[in-house]
Structure 1
Amino acid sequence: MSRGPKKRTLEVEEIISLYKKGESTTRIAELANVSSRYINKLLLKHNVERRPRGHWKRKYHFNEDYFKTWSGTMAYILGLFTADGFISQQGQTVSIAQKEKDILEEIKRELKTTQPLYRNKSTGVYMLYMHSKKMKDDLMNLHGLNPCKSNNVEFPYVPQEYLHHFVRGYFDGDGSINFKGYTIVFVGGSYLFMDTLQRILNDKLNIDTNLVTDKTNYRLFLSGRKTIQVFAQWIYKDKNLFLERKYLEFMKEKTPLDLLEDRKFRNTKNAVKLRKQKFLEQLTKTNCIEKASSLIGITTNTSKQWLENDSDLKEKVNILLNNNK
């Protein structure tokens, strides 16, 4: 059975714009989900003036050695790159993607570059591209990142004094906070990375976390009114770069940390019955036991115990999950 044609993911004007900004046809082909030959034909068709073969002229300069020297800001950017960065497999380009433009503008100032941001029209995501063999080699050889990092990246070595900056960067890339539900969730495709992150948070902050598998991803949950503020005080200590939107969610808490307590549920029959009902309501919306548990403030182990001991609840859960397949 023959395969259908690839779906091009960039518009013609986007392809031409990237080429005029100095991007290679190989890298543009990767972004557009087509071949380099296709890109060359398209540029020829639209009479785009071509660069000499094998020639690459750097139009925008930046600190190529940035990831060689540790600092709080470097650790943050490395954490954000671990979550939302991309390393070209064939070319010498590295890039960071973000929906929020401001943080990439701050990173540009830190890297001392005037490189313009590119915005994907279909997704609205902003991209900061940097063409540098040095930077690519440093990310791979010094920090253990690679072009196919999503599912096998390991937690890099980070000096202890910069660890909270790195975690804040990763949280800004692949973490979320539900303030009303007093829940934080990290998402990642690598078990090695997420398992190490869990152990770091447990040891550093003396808090309980829950790591669960959700088909293709791993989710690390932190829950509790006090727990999320303990986490916030750690990652935002002597902060430099950060996503303001997420920071402001933590700042909604007005009670001093020493007066906070994580919620303790009353074990009365009525209270448990109400929580089970809320669990079913969330399961209807999420179709995920782990997420439904987190949203009502219980651990996955608690919901599993419910299912083991409550046949009526188990039947309702099975019906919901089967109907949503």
Structure 2
Amino acid sequence: MPRKPGISDQYLIDLYKKGTPFKKMSVISGLSDRAIRNIMYKNNVKMNREQYSGQPRKHAVNEDFFKNWSHQMAWVLGLFITDGCVNQSNSISFSQKDERLLRLVAKLMDAKYEIIQPISTRKVSVLTVNSKIIKEDLERLGIYANKSRTVGFPHVPKDYLPSFIRGVIDGDGWVDREGYVMNVISASLSFAKGILETFRSWELRCNLTRQLSTSQKVYYRVWVKGKRDLLKLSDIVYQHALEDCVYYKRDLMKNPEYKSTSNRVKFRTNVSKELLDSVRHEAKKSGKYGNYIIEEALKSILDYTDIELLEKSKPQDRIQYKTTYDKNVLEHAKIIAKQLDMRMNELIELSIREWFILNNIEGKERR
């Protein structure tokens, strides 16, 4: 095909660097895809496969995400093995009832995303990530298409095993609401044995059972039972967790009171990450649970007569935090917040700061 008048190599290079696909460049220049590609090679222009194939990437993503271990990568990997799918095309997908988890996965993977909503025949939402490189990295970790019955337990560095297992529990774990029992289900015996060996290495009371589904297919459950063992497991797997967990499973595993009383209610708001980190540090040091420290803080400040005189702040590091509170304390706090023209998260943050001062933690003194 002859080149159209006035179309220089540099003009085509500029078009290419702006992300113009070869198909459109061919119409503009009159040259074939092969001729345009040769111009790029001749001028040492780094090639982008999606552009010269005429199929630019629909959604950007960090293609190095599964190359380097981190607690967040390990959590996403555990979630993907249990609730993900390697597609025949160069893409992977996550399926979840909880869209918050899908949005968090997309955020962690730096993915520009579109979540497909449930339909009549599919009860879950789906996040799809398009990347041949990510698909190849998962294959390097032993995760292929049609993996449910064949996937093995991947080689996860010891430091990242807790976060990986947390992802597995978030995907296919079940926690009993009435007693200290948790199990993870898998159709792969190899994967189930890997979970069992991990639990044994943590010196947990655990066992593996084999069962048949209603369609007569074999599946396996790995169990952890008993108050001491479940609390020990929760201490291990949630030690690095922030938003990256299923909140109600965390609460059922970590908080004995969550199971035993019906007077607790869930509440979600945005709270300073720095304050939450301080609460978690103090909870670990004192052997308490973070939400009960916040509850103590709320009780203290609700008894304080001059709340309106205390200084409010507007931290820039707020993250979503969902947990349970005593119903009466929470309702009382909402009333006080309304009277003071405060938001609930402002009252919670204020109460945490004052509780730390009141208890002279980290050398702070009450004003």
TM-score by length of 2: 0.53
1:101 corresponding residue in structure 2: 99
Q: Alpha-carbon deviation of 1:95?
A: 0.6
Q: 1:251 Cα shift?
A: 3.6
Aligned pair 1:209/2:206, yes or no? yes
Equivalence for 1:246: 249
CA-to-aligned-CA distance 1:17-64 (integer Å, 9 cap, x gap)? xxxxxxxxxxxxxxxxxxxxxxxxxxxxxxxxxxxxx74232221111
Give distance in 1, aligned partners of 2:58 and 2:132: 16
Q: CA deviation at 1:72?
A: 0.3
In 1, Cα distance between the equivalents of 2:73 and 2:136? 16
- Tell me which amino acid in the other structure corresponds to 1:102: R
Q: Distance in 1 between matches of 2:220 and 2:56?
A: 41
After TM superposition, what 4+ stretches of structure 1 lie above 2 angstroms from structure 2? 54-57, 254-259
The runs of 5 or more residues in structure 1 that have no matched partner are 1-53, 260-325
- Give the aligned residue type for 2:82: A
Give the letter for the 1:176 counterpart.
W
Question: Which of 215, 218, 221 is the aligned partner of 1:219?
Answer: 221
Name the residue aligned to 2:63: 64
SS in 1 for 2:134: helix
In structure 1, the residue matched to 2:77 is 78
Q: How does 1:1-325 map to 2 (within 5 A)?
A: 55-89=54-88, 91-122=89-120, 123-141=122-140, 143-204=141-202, 206-215=203-212, 216-240=218-242, 241-254=244-257
The answer to whether the 8 A contact 1:179-1:250 is kept is no
Moved more, 175-184 or 162-171: 175-184
Amino acid at match of 1:226: R
Cα deviation 1:74-126 (Å, max 9, x = unaligned): 0000000010110013x111011111000111111111122111123123311
SS of 1:185's equivalent? strand
Aligned length: 203
CA distance, structure 2, for counterparts of residue 173 and residue 110 of structure 1: 17
Per-residue CA deviations over 1:225-277 (Å, capped at 9, x if unaligned) read 11111111110012141111211222431499999xxxxxxxxxxxxxxxxxx
Task: Specify the code of the residue in structure 2 equivalent to 1:195.
Answer: K
What amino acid is the match of 2:58? K
Distance (Å, rounded) in 2 between the aligned partners of 1:188 and 1:199: 14
Q: Match for 1:157: what amino acid?
A: H
Q: CA deviation at 1:180?
A: 1.3
CA RMSD of aligned residues (A): 2.1
Identity %: 29
Separation in 2, partners of 1:55, 1:121: 31
Shift of 1:192: 0.8
Matched residue, 1:31: none
Distance, in Å, in 1 between the alignment partners of 2:171 and 2:87 is: 19
Which structure has the larger Rg over C-alpha atoms?
Answer: 2
CA distance in 2, matches of 1:220, 1:166: 15
Q: Equivalent residue of 1:102, what SS? A: helix
TM-score normalized by the length of structure 1: 0.59
Match of 1:282 in 2: none
Separation in 2, partners of 1:223, 1:251 = 14
- Code of the residue aligned with 1:198 in structure 2: it is L
Comparing 99-108 with 118-127, greater Cα deviation is found at 118-127
Could you list the runs of 5+ residues in structure 2 that have no partner in the other structure? 1-52, 213-217, 259-282, 288-367
What CA distance in whole angstroms lies between the structure 2 residues aligned with 1:124 and 1:179? 23
Shift of the alpha carbon at 1:223? Answer: 1.0
1:228 partner SS: helix
- Counterpart of 1:68 in 2: which secondary structure? coil
Using the alignment, how far apart are the partners of 2:103 and 2:248 within structure 1?
Answer: 16
CA-CA distance at 1:179 after TM superposition: 3.3
CA distance in 2, matches of 1:104, 1:72: 17
Q: Please give the alpha-carbon distance, in whole angstroms, between the structure 1 residues aligned to 2:84 and 2:100.
A: 16
Name the structure, 1 or 2, with higher relative contact order (CA <8 Å, separation 6+).
1
Return the alpha-carbon distance in structure 2 between the equivalents of residues 64 and 161 of structure 1: 23
